[in-house]
């Protein structure tokens, strides 16, 4: 049994091997065997959950639940019925919701259509860029569509360029409580490009700044006209946003720029952003487009070019790996539109997902307000999260999509040969940290777990401007992650399959 623990955990607890058995956060219904064997003595050296919580020195609440992934037998719990902000752990529920509604092989399609017919390569009416809910379309992909349009024999358009983005509802941002300038809080619609982010780059030469706003991806860097940046002499705020109708107007404090740099800013008008870049790419193919405008309904027309996304399963794997908020919101909205029709808001769509989760995952009281976990009002209990993980474990639906989480040594370095393996989804907001998924003990036993930590009183003191990098937030998050690892190492060592019947 001694080989179960990592060297770090064993050394930190060996001196405690002679103390009385530590209390569990949720004690077993039966006492341990009265005659202690070698394995039982070794278990006493493992820190209790409460000892790990105390050592973490986290203000706020700590809840968790642990269960056998195959049987659902609960092994340990602490505050299992307390609703906690799940942060990006929400995306695991969203992935299951989208897979159930749309299917793992589903591919989103972006199309180029023409109205009025085509005569000698010239479109007699309008050219229409039609979004189909693909959250992964980038400038390279849009450039390929422009290439394909030329290959289809199109040389001109009599009418204008029309943009249709309403295959999904249109929202200017995901969460109104976030700072204006953070790239992880973009607009949402049925047409997305570069995850609805625009690249802002600046350079200082001879005391003045040159500024570039572009829609870059791997091979292309087209400048955009629908987003503009002004350099201001103010000291704060660093960034400010103004809705200029057909344009995103930004300003930045000159004192914050230094000699040069770059960052991604959110796009608030995704249809116009994609249309702006497509005009440039089509022009490079000799196809001049004019009179760009958004349309709210899709007319009859001829499909000239279709671009399909990767299968949904692959998209969701990347969503969980990189915790992409836009993919989560578009996938969740697509599932809701398919199941019940167009929702009025992200909160309404999340409410439909809550209903689905109760019926299909056995969850008792999910209260999610979006599909990404960005909104702080979302609540999930540790018990509900573990119930969902156990429910889907046998199907093999979620576990292969989760990211492999490396456990780390005392210096923060990944332990490559750690005997405990973890596939899970992380979640982080300011003074909120979450982790949920599956751990495989060295003896092969698989357990489902969820750990939620949150200091909501501290979070409530933050202003909107402080939410990107609040003082003390990084240190708090580090302590929370160390607690998560400590609990996982405890569980992987203590709850061996051979002894499960006696606990």
Half-sphere exposure of 42 (CA within 13 A, CB side): 16
Q: In angstroms, how far is CA 159 from the centroid of its own chain?
A: 40
In the CATH hierarchy, which top-level class contains the domain 109-308? alpha beta
Burial class (CB in 10 A: 0-12, 13-18, 19+), 488: buried
Burial class (CB in 10 A: 0-12, 13-18, 19+), 479: middle
The span from the CA of 71 to the CA of 276, in Å, is 54
Tokens, residue 370: 């979006």
391 Cβ neighbours under 8 A, 6+ residues apart: 360, 361, 362
3-state secondary structure of 447: strand
Other CB atoms within a 10 A radius of the CB of residue 3 amount to: 9
Burial class (CB in 10 A: 0-12, 13-18, 19+), 327: buried
Note the pLDDT of residue 470.
82
Note the pLDDT of residue 496.
82
Q: What is the largest CA-CA distance in the chain?
A: 92
Distances (CA, A) of 222 to 136, 150, 354: 18, 19, 41
Range list for CATH 3.50.80.20 in the chain: 109-308
422, 437 contact by CB (below 8 A): yes
Residues of the chain with pLDDT under 50: 1-37, 500-503
**Cα angle value 122/124/127 (rounded, 5°):** 85
162, 151 contact by CB (below 8 A): no
Provide the edge-to-edge strand list for the sheet that holds 61-68.
Answer: 74-78, 61-68, 446-454, 432-440, 421-429, 403-405
Range list for CATH 3.40.710 in the chain: 2-86+379-502
The span from the CA of 164 to the CA of 181, in Å, is 26
DSSP string, 207-275: TEEEEEEE---SS---B-SSEEEEEES-SS-SEEEEE-SSSEEEEEEGGGTTTEEEEEEE-S-HHHHHH
- Nearest CA-CA partner of 429 in 85, 182, 93: 85
Please, what's the b/e burial string for 367-382 (b: 16 or more CB within 10 A of its CB; e: otherwise)? Answer: ebbbbbbbbbebbbbb
- Judge: domain 2-86+379-502, CATH 2.60.40: no
Residue-wise pLDDT tens digits, 109-140: 999 999 999 999 999 999 999 999 999 999 99
48 Cβ neighbours under 8 A, 6+ residues apart: 22, 23, 24, 25, 490
């Amino acid at each position: 049994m001694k080989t179960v623990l990592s060297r770090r955990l064993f050394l930190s607890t060996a001196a405690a091997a002679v103390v009385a058995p530590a209390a569990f956060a949720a004690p077993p219904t039966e006492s341990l065997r009265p005659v202690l064997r070698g394995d039982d003595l070794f278990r006493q050296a493992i820190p209790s959950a409460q000892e790990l919580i105390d050592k973490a020195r986290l203000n706020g609440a700590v809840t968790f639940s642990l269960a056998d992934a195959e049987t659902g037998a609960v092994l340990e719990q602490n505050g299992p019925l307390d609703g906690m902000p799940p942060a990006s752990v929400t995306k695991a529920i969203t992935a299951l919701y989208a897979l159930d509604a749309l299917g793992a092989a589903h591919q989103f399609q972006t199309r180029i259509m023409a109205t009025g017919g085509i005569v000698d390569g010239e479109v007699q009416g309008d050219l229409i860029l039609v979004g189909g809910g693909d959250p992964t379309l980038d400038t390279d992909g849009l450039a390929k569509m422009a290439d394909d349009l030329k290959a289809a024999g199109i040389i001109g358009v009599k009418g204008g360029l029309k943009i249709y983005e309403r295959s999904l509802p249109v929202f200017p941002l995901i969460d109104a409580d976030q700072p204006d300038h953070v790239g992880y809080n973009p607009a949402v619609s049925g047409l997305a490009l570069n995850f609805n982010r625009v690249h802002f780059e600046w350079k200082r030469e001879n005391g003045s700044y040159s500024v570039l706003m572009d829609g870059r991806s791997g091979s292309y860097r087209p400048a955009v006209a629908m987003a503009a940046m002004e350099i201001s002499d103010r000291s704060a705020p660093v960034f400010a946003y103004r809705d200029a109708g057909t344009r995103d107007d930004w300003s930045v404090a000159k004192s914050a720029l230094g000699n040069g740099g770059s960052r991604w800013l959110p796009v608030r008008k995704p249809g116009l952003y994609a249309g702006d870049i497509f005009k440039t790419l089509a022009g490079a193919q000799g196809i001049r487009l004019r009179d760009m405008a958004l349309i709210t309904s899709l007319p009859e027309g001829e499909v000239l070019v279709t671009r399909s996304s990767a299968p949904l399963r692959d998209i969701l794997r990347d969503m969980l790996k990189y915790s992409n908020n836009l993919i989560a919101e578009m996938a969740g909205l697509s599932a809701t539109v398919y199941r019940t029709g167009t929702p009025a808001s992200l909160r309404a769509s999340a409410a439909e997902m809550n209903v689905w989760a109760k019926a299909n995952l056995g969850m008792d009281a999910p209260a999610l307000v979006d599909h990404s976990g960005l909104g702080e009002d979302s609540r999930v209990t540790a018990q509900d999260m573990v119930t969902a993980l156990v429910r889907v474990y046998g199907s093999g639906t979620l576990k292969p999509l989760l990211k492999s989480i490396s456990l780390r040594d005392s210096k923060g370095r990944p332990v490559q040969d750690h005997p405990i393996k973890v596939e899970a989804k992380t979640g982080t907001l300011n003074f909120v940290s979450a982790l949920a998924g599956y751990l495989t003990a060295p003896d092969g036993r698989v357990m489902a777990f969820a750990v939620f930590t949150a200091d909501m009183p501290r979070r409530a003191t933050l202003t909107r401007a402080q939410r990107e990098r609040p003082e003390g937030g990084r240190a708090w998050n580090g302590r929370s992650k160390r607690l998560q690892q400590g609990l996982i190492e405890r569980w992987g060592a203590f709850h061996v399959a051979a002894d499960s019947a006696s606990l």
